[in-house]
A and B are shown apart, each in its own frame.
Chain A
Amino acid sequence: METLTDQNWLLSVGVFLPLVGVLVMMFIPRDDESTHKTIGIVTAGATLVIGLITLLNFDYDQSEKLQFFVDAEWIPVINSNYTVGLDGISLPLYVLSMAVTFLVMIYTWDNMPDAGNPKAFYMLMLVLQTGMAGTFVAQDLILFFVFFEVVLLPMYFMIGVWGGENRKYASLKFFLYTMFGSAFMLVAFLALFFQTDAVSFGFAHLVDAGASVDRDVQIWIFAGMFLGFAVKVPMFPFHTWLPDAHTQAPTQGSVILAAILLKLGTYGFVRIAIPMLPEGAKAWAPVIGILAVIGIIYGALGCLAQTDMKRLIAFSSVAHMGFVMLGIATLTEFGINAAIFGMVAHGLITGMLFFLAGSVKHRYHTLEIKRLSGMLVQAPRLGWILGFSAMASLGLPGLAGFWGEFPVILSAYNPNFGLSEELFRTLMVIAAVGTVLAAAYLLWLYQRTAFGEPSDEFTSGHGSSDGDGAHHGATPQPVGAAVNDDADHGDEIYDVTPIEWVAWTPFLVFIVVFGVYPQLMFQVIDPAVTDMVARLGETLGP
């Protein structure tokens, strides 16, 4: 694999800078809350700046090659190196993780979950950031695995400490389930290592050598990786940790989980499992495709059955990740390109939806759909943003979600490398029906929560509604501490706060920007994916 090596410090700084912030925060007493928040946000901001510098210095004409490449000795005894690099597949996700963390931290400024203790919360988020960014740049299996697992712990604590009522069950389930998958994944990594003469854990080497591994062995090793990644994605039927984790997690946890963590699984397929084990991938592709499409339909049906808004959004993730996995399963440039686009789009859109769920919870103290009504009356801007995000989520062209969905459906018509056309065309039609169900559950959600008149429960005593037309005027917007006051039920339902605007605007803007001009991202991804699929073709034939 050819590499470009200038400015190779960028990635390491980008990955480990958050830990500097953690180190600083360790020495500051816990009571000094705003200092912790400031340090956290500044660190994440600095990290994002590094990310943007990376973005600017990236050579887009050679996005199929690894850039900012570093290869240093790390654990010589097992031939594992500290190898990092970035190509067109990693770049969008790497920068996305930085941006999302930064924005979530800004959002936390005003919306600290009930359990308090910003020091620990911000430290965990910074550790999480290191893990996520590291996963996307690692070019060595052991390094990848370390980062992949580093992510687990902070999220476990975020759910377990700052979560909802049932947080202990949810966090343990999340942790163990992912751990369970990771174990198999590690088995597979080791097996692959030994099968390729135990020379190196480096991706480049394994991509070259992996193809020559016996087909049956590849299938077995792929099975191990499949379990590890499929749990993370999550694919049907390994998804049941997700609704619980999302429902119980604090808003911040849900956003990061949906926006980035789920992508670690799909990224693993694209980066590791498929290129290293072409024969295994080909053998498993129909299974992945079928499970993905089951996930699309099943997740949508699950959504229709939900009575809780946040749980509904969580189930919609199962459906959306089904589209991503279907694209990957086709093993075509078209499908994998769209899958990566879909990862970013889903990160932005579903992240935004979880933000909204959090804000609704703050205002109404409930997420039960049947109790919410007339949001457009009481908080029109919030209602509009919810409508916008719902439209984006159901794949409206002109918004980002479409580009992760439509080309996937398209690609399933013509899967690569002699995969069964009958099967994948059937899957294509079923997946297309899934888009109808997506419209159904999202619009139904929107109709029930945003349309109509506000329910009495949230209007009594405030006189802000009921036919006098005044409810379209400016509603008072409490800021700062008042927002955190969850104590008394029946607060004034206020509209979007300035902090929320700051945290959300980038999401909204990029949903539109990528939707209107998808070439921005496709031109980065496409060469890398085309290159990868071409390599597959060398082994699998046309």
Chain B
Amino acid sequence: MMLAADAAQLSSGWFLENAWLIALIPAIGFGLIIAFGKKMPMKGSEIGLLSMAASTVLASGAAVQWIQRTDSADKGGEEAVGLIQAFGRSVPTVSEGGEVEPFIEPVVSTWVWWQNSGLEFGIGSSVDGLAILLLWLVAFISLLVQVFSLDYVRGDRRYTHFFAALTLFSAGMLVMVMAENMVQLILGWEIMGLCSFMLIGHWWEEYPNARAALKAFFTVRVGDVGLLVGTAIIFFGANQWAVDNLDSNGFNIAAIQAWALSGEGSHILLLMGAIALFIACIGKSGQFPLHTWLPDAMAGPTPVSSLLHSSTMVVAGVFLVARIYPVFWQGFNIDNGGLSFIAVIGGITIVIAALLAFVQDDIKKVLAYSTVSQLGYMMLGLGTGAWLPAVFHIFTHAFFKCCLFLCAGSISHSASHHSFDMKKDMGGLRKKMPFTFAAWIVSTLALAGIFPFAGFWSKDEIIDNVGNNGYDFLLIVGFGGAALTAMYMTRATYLTFFGEPRGAAAGLHDHDDFDDTHAEEHEMELLTVGAPEGPTAEEAAADAPRSLSAATNTDHHDDHHDDHHDDHHDDHHAEPHESGPLLLIPILVLAFLATISGFANATPLGEEWESIKKYVEPRPVEVPIEDYLAQGAGESLQLVMPTATGDALTADDGAKVCGFETPAAGTVCFFPAVTHAVPKLSKILAATATVVIAFAVAIAFNVAYYGRRNKHLVGLTERSRTLRGGYLFLKNKYYLDALYENVIVRWVAHPIAKAAYWMNQKIIDATVDGVGKSTRRTGQWVYDNIDQKVVDGAVNGSGFVASETGHGLQPVQSGKVSQYGALLFGAAAVGAIVLVIVNVS
């Protein structure tokens, strides 16, 4: 084996070995902004931008070197084949139609972070394809969003803090993505939660914002119970095995992967660990039933929504599942086509979130539910064994969803007076904001999965693989979700860009100080579409544009706030217009990527197009342990290439080992042999047709409904009981919030806490007081009846002396105290003697 190791070394490089800098730079940037930001000419934003730019450069360098590393391994792989043949094994070479794809080991640099019970645990960077993909993605998107924020929050009273928090967030996410072990992952995970809290509550003077921030942190924290418990379960499951076999420990992610696939962990343990960890993912990635915090999180500034709450942070849960996929693979029996918890939750989330998107008037909330729904797709993919498309969807989704949010921000910034209410303040903006409109359309098509935009290549791949892996019902759910996506995006597009301009978009200024937040829920009675009365302002003449939501919103923001929008100081009274370059450039870059990024893994076009598969998906091959052992905590290493042994054939050849059978002795697997659907034209056509039909239906309906062309439709939810019931059910978000807030939180926070406190005061404390009094009486009796000489023994020395000192210092009370003290000690001494006599004899 050493021969093989010497023969073929994986290339590494400076960027890969120092990948930890990618996270460290923003972390230092955060410190600098906090320390010096306010004194800088650009209020600290330049530090944020510089650090994100540096991270992006380093991440790009690392990506290039990772690609070289993979290529070098594949070249080396052929040499390795030769060696293996020399050892007498027969492996089909490339020329014979077989394929040897060696496992590409992550590049690890770690330092000792903490130790316990003699084991040392590390912190550092462990870079493989998945990590590289997300490192680059997070650094790049963070950079774009910071550029966007320069103008968007200009003049904000907490401008510096805003950039500090954004930068810290990026650091946290990067730490998590490159995590070498579970504790480091938790570190990044929770830092992101903190930043999410800080940024949602950025304008905390407003109660709804503070409340949304609290709700987000708290809901995610509920899920985090699962993270702590799951990490504990996995640690103790894997630790001994990892120490014995890999000279590692039960926190190490590679060790966990290997252990899960080693066949030596008990299935029940893996199942419990997987369930616990997935609960954490439900909280973080907004899956049903803990998704309710994500729409409320839209109370934060739009750049925050676009960075944290759509493209990066919320995929942390998806990332966690993808990262330690073997645990879920084995725990949920994905290998046997079992209907996994993950797939079920993902499927439910797709549909329920997409339905909710139909009843939102707030453009950001439409996008938020869309995000929830798309995260459901990713989970669905992971839950059914479609690892690659799910991870690819993280990649593409980040671009188009971030772009959509930035478009919404651009609209509110330049056209709708910081309102996000589509019915009230938008409409007909396509001519006034051509670039924003174009970017929005491109991203919408990408989201809906129209050829050739990005979503087509990733989402349809998920759906295809779900079906391919035998989940027929979930396949239908996937199609249904795709149709719904097209429909609600049509509705949002229509309301925003078509029809007649309304409210602010029409240049009306009757609610200048409109609120950004919308965190409050309106009275549902007010939310009837098509109610007879006109818009809010009287000066809106007969031909003035109508507010589609009629009587809504009139009462909901008037009394508070005068200044919390100095972040949007400009254009308060300008006509709707296109945004400036600092806003448009990030949007257009993202729109461009939303157009082309799908080609990073265009499976239907053939294998040479599958870059993500080649460079990101870990290879399901058995790796000899002795090669792997070369890495340990405390050093930065260039690793030797582990050679492929045995049946290192691709899964499609039917010789699945990793994830299906116990790996051969002396070898470990790090990734299960997932299957990949072979693209078929018919399926692609079916998916495309579904979406196109959905678009057509939705466009027709929207024109008829919102354009008031069809009298039968107007006010339908008013007239039909069934429809109205369904509408209210959706409007109230399935009453989940009511359950959480009015039932659970209110009960714990009020009656239960009060009852506990009552018990504390009236029972436990009353007992203490009672015991005190009766002790005094008993003590008196003892004092009267027991010989004082016993008390005077060696026993009471110090305490008694101390009481006497007290006597001297403070005559007010200490007389009593020393008396009590003496009595207590008397009693104690007697007790001691009795105990000793009993025990000695």
A-side residues, CB < 8 A to B, are 75, 77-78, 120, 145-146, 149-150, 152-153, 156-157, 160-161, 168, 171-173, 175-177, 179-180, 182-184, 186-187, 190-191, 194-195, 214, 217, 220, 224, 237, 240-241, 298, 301-306, 332-334, 337-338, 374, 376-377, 391, 396-398, 402-403, 406-407, 409-410, 412-414, 428-429, 432-433, 435-437, 439-440, 443-444, 447, 450-453, 467-469, 472, 517-519, 522-523, 526, 529-530, 533
Contacts and interface: CB of A to CB of B under 8 A. Distances in A.
Interface in B821-841: 821, 824-825, 827-829, 831-832, 835-836, 839-840
Given A409-B229, A526-B115, A374 B205 contact: yes
Contacts of B835: 187, 191, 220, 224
B305 interface: no
A165 to B, nearest CB: 16
21 contacts: A146-B798, A153-B806, A240-B765, A301-B756, A397-B189, A406-B228, A407-B116, A409-B229, A413-B232, A413-B236, A432-B228, A436-B221, A437-B748, A439-B217, A447-B210, A447-B214, A469-B563, A469-B566, A519-B113, A519-B114, A526-B116
A77 B236 contact: no
A80 to B, nearest CB: 9
A440 B217 CA distance: 9
Contact of A177 (B115, B756, B768): B768
A396 B194 contact: yes
Contacts of B760: 240, 298, 302
Contacts of B118: 333, 526, 530
A202 to B, nearest CB: 17
Contacts of B840: 194-195
A403 to B, nearest CB: 7
The 9 closest A-B CB pairs, nearest first, are A183-B828, A333-B117, A304-B753, A305-B757, A301-B756, A451-B210, A187-B832, A305-B753, A397-B187
B757 A452 contact: no
B113 A377 contact: no
Interface in B744-760: 748-749, 752-754, 756-757, 760
Interface of B is mostly: helix
Nearest to A454: B205
A172 B748 contact: no
B113 A190 contact: no
Contacts of A402: 190
A149 B832 contact: no
B772 A176 contact: yes
B225 interface: yes
B794 interface: yes
B341 interface: no
Contacts of B197: 443
Nearest to A394: B221
B832 A433 contact: no
Interface string B491-514: 000000000000000000000000
B112 interface: yes
Interface string B690-717: 0000000000000000000000000000
Contact of B186 (A177, A304, A374, A406): A406
A25 to B, nearest CB: 14
Given A172-B817, A187-B835, A237-B764, A337 B116 contact: yes
B749 A440 contact: yes
B757 A302 contact: yes
A440 B232 contact: no
B361 interface: no
Interface string B210-231: 1100100110011011001101
Contacts of A450: 204
Contacts of A334: 116-117
Quick one: which of A183, A414, A443 has the most chain B CB within 10 A? A183
B581 interface: no
Given A183-B828, A526-B115, A157 B810 contact: yes
Given A153-B805, A187-B832, A160 B229 contact: no
Contacts of B813: 160, 168, 171-172
Given A157-B809, A305-B757, A452 B210 contact: yes
Contacts of B809: 120, 157
Interface string B755-787: 011001000110010001001000000000000
Contacts of B207: 451-452
Interface in B184-212: 186-187, 189-191, 194, 197, 201, 204-205, 207, 210-211
Contacts of B231: 410
A398 B187 contact: yes
B768 A440 contact: no
B820 interface: yes
Contacts of A526: 115-118
B116 A77 contact: no
Contacts, number: 223
A191 B832 contact: yes
Nearest to B220: A439
Contacts of A413: 232-233, 235-236
Contacts of B157: 469, 472
B799 interface: yes
Contact of B828 (A78, A187, A332, A414): A187
Given A194-B839, A433-B225, A467-B562, 9 more contacts: A183-B827, A187-B831, A191-B832, A301-B756, A413-B236, A432-B225, A435-B221, A443-B218, A469-B157
Interface in B781-814: 794-795, 797-799, 802-803, 805-806, 809-810, 813
A146 B764 CA distance: 29
Contacts of A522: 114-116
A439 B799 CA distance: 41
Contacts of B403: none
B204 A305 contact: no
B183 interface: yes
Given A414-B236, A439-B217, A398 B190 contact: yes
A149 B115 contact: no
Contacts of B221: 435-436, 439
A302 B794 contact: no
A370 B397 CA distance: 44
B114 A518 contact: yes
B752 to A, nearest CB: 6
Nearest to B768: A240
Contacts of A333: 116-118
Given A183-B827, A467-B562, A403 B114 contact: yes
Nearest to B272: A425
B211 A447 contact: yes
A398 B187 CA distance: 6
A191 B753 contact: no
A388 to B, nearest CB: 10
B13 to A, nearest CB: 28
B352 to A, nearest CB: 24
B820 A432 contact: no
Contacts of B802: 149-150, 152-153
A247 to B, nearest CB: 13
Contacts of B825: 183, 186
B748 A186 contact: no
A334 B183 CA distance: 14
A279 B117 CA distance: 21
A468 B820 contact: no
Contacts of A161: 810
Given A153-B805, A172-B813, A443-B217, A301 B115 contact: no
Nearest to B752: A301
A435 B225 contact: yes
A237 B764 CA distance: 7
A451 B183 CA distance: 31
A179 B233 CA distance: 42
A364 B799 CA distance: 40
A338 B232 CA distance: 14
Contact of B214 (A156, A190, A443): A443
Nearest to B564: A467
